[in-house]
Chain A
């Protein structure tokens, strides 16, 4: 089995893991967004959706565990790759023209990723912990109200929107980068991959960021 470890520890292997876990996370975000958008259907719809998920708890737990593993590998390999890459150039250039030969998104993946990670921790604290670990509103199945209360805080909402924009940075590069890493690049469909990545990114950013903006500015509620 040593050959598998060797393959996955090579420079291409590490990137392959990054791309594979990245694509899994791209798919997860679609499901997450669809769930979130049910908030626009009002308290009843959203609470029913969450309650239905409660009904298939064991399955949700398994998926959550897989998701955690995907995140762990994505982050672990990101740090390994980043550290190795830093070591490959011990002395930096005095003048660097990187802005003229590459995109900002591609050069800042570790930083957009790091902030998304911090966001993820806070985000889990706000919603996952409240939904799962006995928040009084969760016990009465009023999950919608938890969301309303969270986004009532302008600081939290602002942080949420900023994190989503950085997620957009990450996705814009990551989407096409994953295809390139898998070796799926040719003249016929790579331009399409790039387009698709951009469309995906815009949908994700607008979709996720609209929710705190809606609750902060447009939700009359109580």
Chain B
């Protein structure tokens, strides 16, 4: 059966360089509803290149929603209007013939635009370097069940760890706050025995780094949770607040 293709108007943010002025440019595309959003951009780029025009710069890697590389703000939603998926999992069947689609990069001071729709998210790496790890001695593989962990705690830690670090929470937040990301990372360690030795130092160091990098504070609008492709819960933010306050009150170390 012949598929019904869609006529769409794309308004895409084009910006030649980090400091260059950007603006929206209009493109008309004729696209299969089975095509993914990124495939549509690939096709458009092929066409631009065949006309010797500069292709639209955007990021992607795994294209199956687990790497966190892709991330576009589509009609005002990070990763598009369908909940709990990444941009790469968004298909054109969710749009109607004749639609106009606005595509913007993530906007945050801490995520400067590199080109077009690509932003520099290395601020997240700086936060992880500040404390998003556990220090372990190298050696042979530890015994499987040496550290017992209750199933529900393990599940909760896994839920937190399912954060792919895409930055949609920052993009969605009216304050460009990174609290959902940071709290997910704090939580995945705070919940497990392996995370205990550095528990309080970690939360303080990561929050401090997050503040230094120019992310905003949390207004508890919960937009982050609504837009997160992995459905990370705002309970993580509550946990981080708890951990942070506890760390400040309980621990003796003062310069973290």
Query: Taking the nearest CB of chain B, how far is it from the CB of A28, in angstroms?
Result: 21
**CA A185 to CA B75, docked complex, whole Å:** 31
Is the beta-carbon distance between B207 and A100 smaller than 8 angstroms? no
Given contacts A11-B211, A88-B109, contact A180 B76 (CB under 8 A): no
Is the beta-carbon distance between B220 and A85 smaller than 8 angstroms? no
CB of A184 within 8 Å of the partner chain: yes
Given contacts A12-B244, A98-B174, contact A93 B76 (CB under 8 A): yes
Query: Taking the nearest CB of chain A, how far is it from the CB of B12, in angstroms?
Result: 11
Partner of B214, one of A88, A183, A184: A88
CB closest chain-A residue, reference B101: A95
CB closest chain-A residue, reference B24: A94
CB of A155 within 8 Å of the partner chain: no
| Segment at the interface with B among A2-10, A117-125, A139-147 | A2-10
**CA A89 to CA B171, docked complex, whole Å:** 9
> Residues of B contacting A52 with CB < 8 Å?
none
Is the beta-carbon distance between A107 and B174 smaller than 8 angstroms? yes
Query: Taking the nearest CB of chain A, how far is it from the CB of B14, in angstroms?
Result: 13
> Residues of B contacting A134 with CB < 8 Å?
none
Is the beta-carbon distance between A101 and B210 smaller than 8 angstroms? no
Q: How many residues of A contact B (CB 8 A)?
A: 44
**CA A110 to CA B174, docked complex, whole Å:** 13
In the complex, chain B residues 195-234 whose Cβ is within 8 Å of any chain A Cβ: 207-208, 210-211, 214-223, 226-227, 234
Partner of B226, one of A16, A87, A101: A101
> Residues of A contacting B13 with CB < 8 Å?
94
Given contacts A10-B207, A98-B76, A102-B226, contact A87 B214 (CB under 8 A): yes
Is the beta-carbon distance between B254 and A88 smaller than 8 angstroms? no
Q: How many A-B residue pairs have CB under 8 A?
A: 144
| Chain B proximity mask over A79-117: 1 for CB below 8 Å, otherwise 0 | 001001101111111111110111100110100000000
CB closest chain-B residue, reference A7: B248
CB of A201 within 8 Å of the partner chain: no
**CA A97 to CA B83, docked complex, whole Å:** 13
CB of A14 within 8 Å of the partner chain: yes
Is the beta-carbon distance between A101 and B223 smaller than 8 angstroms? yes
Is the beta-carbon distance between B254 and A95 smaller than 8 angstroms? no
CB of B241 within 8 Å of the partner chain: yes
**CA A123 to CA B125, docked complex, whole Å:** 50
Given contacts A81-B217, A185-B235, contact A91 B107 (CB under 8 A): yes
Is the beta-carbon distance between B219 and A97 smaller than 8 angstroms? no
> Residues of A contacting B188 with CB < 8 Å?
none
Is the beta-carbon distance between A85 and B107 smaller than 8 angstroms? no
Query: Taking the nearest CB of chain B, how far is it from the CB of A122, in angstroms?
Result: 27
Partner of B172, one of A92, A101, A173: A101
CB of B116 within 8 Å of the partner chain: no
CB closest chain-B residue, reference A182: B241
CB of A15 within 8 Å of the partner chain: yes
4 new A-B contacts, CB < 8 A, other than A11-B217, A97-B75, are: A89-B109, A90-B109, A96-B76, A106-B221
> Can you list 10 residue pairs at the A/B interface with Cβ under 8 Å?
A11-B207, A11-B218, A12-B245, A15-B241, A84-B216, A85-B177, A89-B174, A93-B107, A180-B241, A190-B235
A-B interface, 3 closest residue pairs, ranked by CB to CB distance from nearest: A183-B242, A97-B76, A88-B216
